[in-house]
Structure 1
Amino acid sequence: MAPRFDNERKTIDLAVADLLEAQLLRSLGFANRGGYERLWLGQAIHSRYQEEALGEDASYRREVTISHRFVHRGYEVTVHGRIDGLRRNPGGGWVIEEIKSVRRGVGLSPAAQELYQRQAALYGWLLAHKLRAEGEASPHIEVELVLIEIGSDRLERQPVELKLPVIEALVKRRLNGLIRAHQQAAAARDARRRAAAELRFPYPEMRRGQERIVERVREVLADGSHLLLEAPTGIGKTVAALFPALRHVLRHDRRLFVLTAKTLQQEMATEVLELLNQDDAFRALRLRAKAKMCANDQLVCHEEYCDYAKDYYAKLQESGVVLRLLEGHRTLLPDDVFAAARRALVCPFEVSLELAERAQVTVCDYNYAFDPYVALSAFHADADLSDVVVIVDEIHNLVARGRGYYSPLLSARDIRRAAAEAAAGGAPIHHRIAELCLVLARLIEGLVDEVEPAAAKDDWAVEQRFPEDGLWRLRPQLDQVFVDYLEFRRETHSLSPDDRFVEQYFGVLKFLNALTLSDGAFSHFVERRGEDRRWRILCKDPSRFLGAVINRCHSVVGLSATLSPHAFYRDLLGFDRDRTERLSLPSPFPPENRRVVIDSSVATTYRERPRNYPRIAERLARFADEVPGNCLALFPSYAFLAQVAGLLRCERKRVLVQARSDSDEEREAILQTLRSALLRDVLLLAVAGGVFAEGVDYPGDMLKAVAVVGPCLPAVTLEQQLLMDYYEERFERGFEYAYVVPGMTRVVQAAGRLIRSADDVGVIALFDKRFLFRTYRQHLPADWLPQDGGSLAGDPAAAAAEFFHALAGEPT
């Protein structure tokens, strides 16, 4: 992140990279901005070299954290960094190593050479100040670049001249420039502070409950603590949280990230930000996925293959596209960024990242903060997040998403497909790839076949330790062939975005990374799915990884309609117990606007399901026909949905069915049909947890009833059983946390689509007798339950007829 100034305390906090001139950093070119060879192979090469050095030299230390504090122009300045390697030379002096991986047969460019030497020399300067502070008057320090060739591991040591007075002067000159830039930006910061004081809630009055949200968010931001906010759908959580968060970040010169799980939620958050920014007080950016922001039809991020990557930094400066976008748009939408960047012939996604560094608010997917492979630089493991405020929408989704980040698999079928694709290439490198992929596939298949249960069916899974040594022994060979393959692709101008070998290579690296992270919160198992044989790693508890991000932030506010049990979400999301508060609010809407009914005459357990399909279809159809408007019916799975859809016969409703393969355009067409309903009212059959069940608004009369078929429990798989065992051991609530909580979360989220304002009315029908059992009933919102202690059981069709007749003032 950028240098951190605190004007009140007169402090500046800097990383070594901040002391390198921007022009020098940018002169390296586009491909060095996180190129995957350097990101993946570079890390492996660093680690391998450091491990060998530790074994050979007792004085060797790696990743040495170092800092220096001093006063400059009235500021207390702290510079911190991390030395790759530090050792003693035979004479007792110190040797600093700056380790870099380089392409085979390609020397460093003059710009790269200068950058790396300057960076290494700065570490020498830091060490010199540290040693002097410890009493070593004239420390002897040598600095060298350690250049390791990718693929061959050939090593070259280049000495770096260390002139401490020259470096001291360069540091002060760079500091003067940073201070000058900070002072020049002071007018904009002061304007934002004034705007914070003038910022007003965007609606004439707040709904009941919003005042409490605004006040509690204000308090936790002032304290630097976290908040888990549970409040019903429709109360206006997002705007009530964003309003005080914006005032805080504008007043204190902090940055706000709004994280969502779905595109539709990003759109809604952006609309709220637009309402809050009528006075043009800040810049808000919405990030779109890289694949959808690519202006090159091949999605190959390299200067040699993409006109939008070629001469990127030169064109960026010449075009002024970033400044024009910032001056011309208070809300920076993906389409506008894409169009402007394309006109300037610069990469639209990279321009988005440039804008993210300057915008006060960024709206994006969870991945950009929590996925270790795609996170923004602001959220990297060593980034300082103390000036970052995060609002996480529908935060209950982050538990499963977090598990997924650290739960890779290796598929023998996919690896064999990569082998077949490579073999078709014909060049020697293709044959090497094919042979190596087949070795890997046979390794996977051999273990799966060896442990296959005697009575196994077509699909099965069993916990199993992996022969890790065999996989690790393949790693150097994979690295070698990968580098050779990339060089071949460059030389033949045949780089492709859809390369199965490249995909599988990265898959192996992710798998090996997960192996190194594995502890008691992980399980390893093998499985057969049809003809495919797989190794899988399951992260059962992502809290240490998510918490490593969350607890470095100034404050994180998590929003959801379903955050009970509180301890489950707080602990599995990694929130610091001592810094995390809870706020749970009841529905602000009149209870008479809603009727909840449970059809206890049907059962949806896996065993009882087949004989109940006809009855569910018949009773769902009668219910929908009694509703004067559109209905949404949600099922635990596409398979269940298909069975009922084939039997459904509605007399007064047009039936639409969500398909697994629906595109964004097809989903939007369904929503448009619900909005218009020109022909007749619609019954939409969809899947709980999907796009139509969460994160979608159905305003006004767009929806009059929601039916949820079954508690929507996850399927019984080895994965869920492993989660159940883990939760039983940690919380002593295994079945509830592994099955009931995620299932009932989907139920409540789905039903929340119905009542989103004081004027909305409708019926919620729950089809399954289990909803009356205490295990499930306790997870229903308290305001759904009869205040007189009565039962919710009944006939959904009769309940709907009675409810809507009463609303119309008609006799039932």
Structure 2
Amino acid sequence: MPAIHLPIRQLVEFLLHTGSIDSRFAGFDRALEGARIHRRLQKAAGEGYEAEVFLSAEREADGIAFTLEGRADGIFTDEGGPVTIDEIKTTAVPFEEITEEMNPCHWAQGMVYAAIYSDQQSLSKINVRLTYYQIDTDQIIRFVRHFSREELDTFLRGLLQQYAPWAQRQLDWSVRRAESLSALRFPFAEYRPGQRALAGEVYRACRAGKDADHKGGTRLFCQAPTGIGKTMSAIFPALRSMGEGSGEKLFYLTARNTTQAAAEDAIARLRAADPGLALRSVTLTAKEKVCLHPDAEGRPACLPEMCPFANGYYSRVKDVLAALLDGPGSFDRAALADTARQFSVCPFELGLDLSEWCDVVIGDYNYLFDPVVHLKRFFDASGDWLFLIDEAHNLPDRARAMYSASFSKSSLTDAKRALGKGKSSLKTALSKADKAFLEARKLCGKLAPRRAALETAPEEAAQTSLLPGPADAPALELPEPIFAREGTVFLRELPAALLTPLRAVQAPLQDWLEANPDADAHAQLLDLYFAVQDITRAAERYDSHFVTQLSAYGSDLTLHLLCLDPAPFVDASLAAGRSAALFSATLAPPGYYRGVLGCPDARAVALESPFPAENLGLYCLPNISTRYRDRDASVQAVSDALARLALSKTGNYLAFFPSYAYLRQVREDFAARYPGIRTLAQESKADDAARAEFLAAFVPDPKETLLGFGVLGGVFGEGVDLAGDRLIGCAIVGVGLPQVNPRQEMLRRYYDEQNGCGFDYAYRFPGMNKVLQAAGRVIRTPEDKGVVLLLDDRFALPEYARLFPPHWRHIRYLRSNDELEQQLHHFWQN
């Protein structure tokens, strides 16, 4: 008999959820405190109450064996009365509007738990109690219904019979998919050099999965040169693994849209090579980017009376799914938008609902790692998921940003001004929070300059109080500092004096937003709401891996809760799956990436470049210093070196700089002294159209030389594929170190305490990663030929040279521009 695993909540919501998307009760996430409220109510229930009871049962319906699983919020087993299943729900629905019939899904979930429990315990009768907690008013209302075991069994059997056609559809698909994927063939006549090795590593990681030694799933770090076809080399073996029973679903996660497109192209190529391939894929895109009916400010308007795609969504979505699941199975952004218009459904929510029926889910890192927007339907519990993490060198900084949050005093001041005259509970709460931030700003302004010496004497931090003397002591107190500089103060502990009044703003702010949807200030106060929500969420997960930063600028103060070390959070996210392969062209040194991403025992491999070494001319002029203090003096020397590079052969070149300011300095000098060479510069605020225009200038078979100026770590420094003669050379100006500022210094201090490698972790390793990514733009295929020029004396130092990839062994260190000209001439001649 075919079998299917089915979470109880999924069964109930799929069959019984009707109505519309309504952000008034969902979009504000008023149940942020839901888990804590559950625990509080469970604890208050007293003796005879068992909380979080896992229930599982085997049931059969229409020839299908179902394994049902779920977790009841609580069960009263006191012998003094009938057993009662307690289903707890937090809600933002006004208390007076909460009714017994408000949501059939809530009753159904409790009734399924009751059916399973009464059967297991041979109970003839059992109660189901709904406990609603109104999150704004802290009011509780309870409803109780009495059921016989026979009634509940009939109810559950009816649900399974309704779901059976959908289950049969999925079972049939699983068989077809397994047969198709197990016979999947590589879509090219032969592997590129290096592809087979990468594919083998990914395949073995997917097959290994979880065992006694890999309870958090197998982890693989793979550094593979650019241009070998990493996307196909990762997707193909993962799909083969799924076809052989290792992996239920594949998540391909990326840092940018260009790599999402590469994954879509790889799957399209597999489909083209095998027209009968049974494979469904969906690409998830942020709601703001796919919304078909934004409001006047360009925001998604997720209200049934405002958006036709939200109105009645849950009542129509099953018909939409039925139509789509019999189709070609490729659901990218354009396909979802077309379907959404055709059926009048929200494309964002449709993508999420389709993901449960798709085999491959393509999306941003945040769908797995972000604690707020991760896919709860998959990752709140572990599953047989395969994770492919593309361009994984981006993940440390992205993960830090996901777990961090910021809040500025100015948003409070602006909100008070936007509310106008008059009194209200919201205005009172805003004023109290604003006053606390004002006192903290004065305190930071006084103390940070006085504590500047702590930058070079961190051992003094623990011995000096942040608090001023009795004569000028304000009412507000802050924890002891770590160090302070330039109006910025770092604290190891949370500043309760600021967070407490911010939390007090939430409830009146929510009430105002719901009561004034058409007010002129609505958009501004909605921004404030989300900012308060972000900072309070970050405070919930704050621990020893975080630090608090207070920065005073003029009349403003910004509170940052900074995640310095994302390792435990990334580790917990990856543990939700069977295996994870993290790959990039630059993952060196591997110990750094394994450490900051919470995978200290992961296998790490570095594949040799398969491309002929003689195709890459690699040169360094170590007689130039691009350190910040030397930049003004280095401008002409850099210009002269770039000119020798650009004049060596007609073609397209890129020069990468550590900052826009330095870029502009050199370009101005270069254009004045070498007007015969056409130049083009990256702009700091360029939109997608401007970026596309920049890249379009790098045409094949150019008739004149073009030298583009870009920044290290920018959009043109990685993920750009200018193959062939669209790019024949690049110059890297400097070693890419992040700008020295209080935050980077705090990161350095943290890792100095952890492992004594603070400068490496905060500066050297991230900087060299940007260098290697930029250099990787030149050789994209085995036929490409080009040159890379390194301009900085630090490239000759052992601590930097040891980070070069193996295929840079033939680097030549030159003494002058004349020698550079000779070497370039020799390279292009040969």
Please confirm whether the aligned pair reaches a TM-score higher than 0.5, indicating the same fold.
yes
The answer (yes or no) to whether the contact 1:150–1:483 under 8 Å persists in 2 is no
Q: TM-score, normalised on structure 1?
A: 0.88
Is 1:592 the equivalent of 2:630? no
Q: 1:95, CA displacement in angstroms?
A: 4.8
Q: 1:233, CA displacement in angstroms?
A: 0.9
Percentage of matched positions with identical amino acids: 29
Is 1:122 the equivalent of 2:144? no
1:712-723 mapped onto 2 (5 Å cutoff)? 712-723=736-747
Partner of 1:66: 54
Is 1:13 the equivalent of 2:5? yes
Give deviations 1:97-153, integer Å, cap 9, x for gaps: 3222141155247764322122223333455466x3xxxx75986432222334222
Is 1:228 the equivalent of 2:221? yes
Amino acid at match of 2:442: D
Over 3 Å counting, the alpha-carbon distance change for 1:476 and 1:690 in structure 2 is: closer
Partner of 2:370: 371
Partner of 1:451: 444
The more displaced of 618-627 and 235-244 is: 618-627
Q: Secondary structure at the match of 1:159?
A: strand
**2:168, 2:315 → 1: CA distance?**
26
Is 1:483 the equivalent of 2:483? no
**1:49, 1:188 → 2: CA distance?**
38
Is 1:333 the equivalent of 2:329? no
Q: 1:427, CA displacement in angstroms?
A: 7.6
**1:571, 1:525 → 2: CA distance?**
24
Q: 1:762, CA displacement in angstroms?
A: 0.9
Over 3 Å counting, the alpha-carbon distance change for 1:348 and 1:69 in structure 2 is: closer
The answer (yes or no) to whether the contact 2:624–2:793 under 8 Å persists in 1 is yes
**1:454, 1:240 → 2: CA distance?**
52
**1:187, 1:337 → 2: CA distance?**
24
**1:50, 1:744 → 2: CA distance?**
47
The more displaced of 340-349 and 774-783 is: 340-349
The more displaced of 370-379 and 594-603 is: 370-379
Amino acid at match of 1:272: A
The answer (yes or no) to whether the contact 2:651–2:702 under 8 Å persists in 1 is no
The answer (yes or no) to whether the contact 2:226–2:779 under 8 Å persists in 1 is yes
Q: Secondary structure at the match of 2:698?
A: helix
1:476-555 mapped onto 2 (5 Å cutoff)? 477-490=504-517, 493=518, 499-555=523-579
Give deviations 1:155-191, integer Å, cap 9, x for gaps: 2121132433222233334345545543344443333
Q: Secondary structure at the match of 1:36?
A: coil
Q: Secondary structure at the match of 1:713?
A: coil
Over 3 Å counting, the alpha-carbon distance change for 1:75 and 1:566 in structure 2 is: farther
Q: 1:631, CA displacement in angstroms?
A: 0.8
Amino acid at match of 1:64: E
Q: 1:329, CA displacement in angstroms?
A: 4.3
Partner of 1:260: 254
Q: 2:813 aligns with which of 784, 792, 805?
A: 792
Partner of 2:626: 604
Q: Secondary structure at the match of 1:277?
A: helix
The more displaced of 469-478 and 278-287 is: 469-478
Give deviations 1:66-91, integer Å, cap 9, x for gaps: 12344647987543333335567694
Amino acid at match of 2:509: F
Partner of 2:383: 385
Is 1:460 the equivalent of 2:470? no
Partner of 2:765: 741
Is 1:657 the equivalent of 2:663? no
Is 1:438 the equivalent of 2:460? no
| Structure 2 residues not aligned, in runs of 5+ | 210-217, 453-484
**2:370, 2:817 → 1: CA distance?**
43
Partner of 1:103: 93
1:177-216 mapped onto 2 (5 Å cutoff)? 177-178=162-163, 180-216=165-201
Amino acid at match of 1:13: H
**1:60, 1:773 → 2: CA distance?**
69
**2:490, 2:828 → 1: CA distance?**
56
1:153-164 mapped onto 2 (5 Å cutoff)? 153-164=138-149
Amino acid at match of 1:42: A
Q: 1:556, CA displacement in angstroms?
A: 1.1
**1:351, 1:691 → 2: CA distance?**
30
Partner of 1:293: 290
Partner of 1:474: 501
**1:441, 1:284 → 2: CA distance?**
48
Amino acid at match of 1:349: F
The answer (yes or no) to whether the contact 1:142–1:162 under 8 Å persists in 2 is yes
Q: 1:204, CA displacement in angstroms?
A: 1.8
The answer (yes or no) to whether the contact 1:148–1:155 under 8 Å persists in 2 is yes
**1:297, 1:796 → 2: CA distance?**
56
**2:817, 2:535 → 1: CA distance?**
49
Q: 1:700, CA displacement in angstroms?
A: 1.0
**1:619, 1:535 → 2: CA distance?**
44
Over 3 Å counting, the alpha-carbon distance change for 1:432 and 1:653 in structure 2 is: farther
The answer (yes or no) to whether the contact 1:286–1:334 under 8 Å persists in 2 is yes
**1:140, 1:173 → 2: CA distance?**
19
The answer (yes or no) to whether the contact 2:651–2:706 under 8 Å persists in 1 is yes
The answer (yes or no) to whether the contact 2:748–2:759 under 8 Å persists in 1 is yes
Partner of 1:3: none
Give deviations 1:600-633, integer Å, cap 9, x for gaps: 1211222222322333233323322334211111
Partner of 1:670: 694
Over 3 Å counting, the alpha-carbon distance change for 1:22 and 1:519 in structure 2 is: closer
Q: 1:375, CA displacement in angstroms?
A: 1.8
Amino acid at match of 1:209: G
Q: 1:698, CA displacement in angstroms?
A: 0.6
Partner of 2:399: 402
Q: 2:103 aligns with which of 105, 113, 118?
A: 113
**1:226, 1:277 → 2: CA distance?**
28
Q: Secondary structure at the match of 1:20?
A: helix
Over 3 Å counting, the alpha-carbon distance change for 1:567 and 1:678 in structure 2 is: closer
**1:304, 1:411 → 2: CA distance?**
34
The answer (yes or no) to whether the contact 1:50–1:62 under 8 Å persists in 2 is no
Give deviations 1:25-84, integer Å, cap 9, x for gaps: 2x14322798123x3x22325624743763x55538786141234464798754333333
RMSD: 3.1
The answer (yes or no) to whether the contact 1:102–1:108 under 8 Å persists in 2 is no
**2:285, 2:396 → 1: CA distance?**
22
Q: Secondary structure at the match of 2:429?
A: helix
The answer (yes or no) to whether the contact 2:448–2:486 under 8 Å persists in 1 is no
Give deviations 1:621-653, integer Å, cap 9, x for gaps: 332233421111111222322232232223443
Amino acid at match of 2:487: W
Over 3 Å counting, the alpha-carbon distance change for 1:34 and 1:17 in structure 2 is: farther
Is 1:807 the equivalent of 2:825? no
Q: 1:35 aligns with which of 5, 10, 26?
A: 26
The answer (yes or no) to whether the contact 1:444–1:533 under 8 Å persists in 2 is yes
Partner of 2:361: 362
Q: 2:803 aligns with which of 779, 783, 793?
A: 779
The answer (yes or no) to whether the contact 1:63–1:82 under 8 Å persists in 2 is no
Over 3 Å counting, the alpha-carbon distance change for 1:359 and 1:551 in structure 2 is: same
Over 3 Å counting, the alpha-carbon distance change for 1:517 and 1:671 in structure 2 is: same
Amino acid at match of 2:635: Y
Partner of 2:640: 618
The answer (yes or no) to whether the contact 1:45–1:148 under 8 Å persists in 2 is no
Q: 1:677, CA displacement in angstroms?
A: 7.9
**2:50, 2:644 → 1: CA distance?**
70
Partner of 2:238: 245
Q: 1:265, CA displacement in angstroms?
A: 1.2
Partner of 1:4: none
Over 3 Å counting, the alpha-carbon distance change for 1:113 and 1:798 in structure 2 is: same
The more displaced of 461-470 and 332-341 is: 461-470
Q: Secondary structure at the match of 1:646?
A: helix
Q: 1:325, CA displacement in angstroms?
A: 4.8
Over 3 Å counting, the alpha-carbon distance change for 1:714 and 1:515 in structure 2 is: same
Q: 1:467, CA displacement in angstroms?
A: 6.6
| Structure 1 residues not aligned, in runs of 5+ | 1-6
Give deviations 1:393-422, integer Å, cap 9, x for gaps: 111111111111111111112332233233
**2:827, 2:198 → 1: CA distance?**
34
The more displaced of 408-417 and 674-683 is: 674-683
The answer (yes or no) to whether the contact 1:124–1:141 under 8 Å persists in 2 is yes
Moved over 6 A (4+): 73-76
Over 3 Å counting, the alpha-carbon distance change for 1:11 and 1:548 in structure 2 is: farther
The answer (yes or no) to whether the contact 2:437–2:498 under 8 Å persists in 1 is no
Amino acid at match of 1:357: E
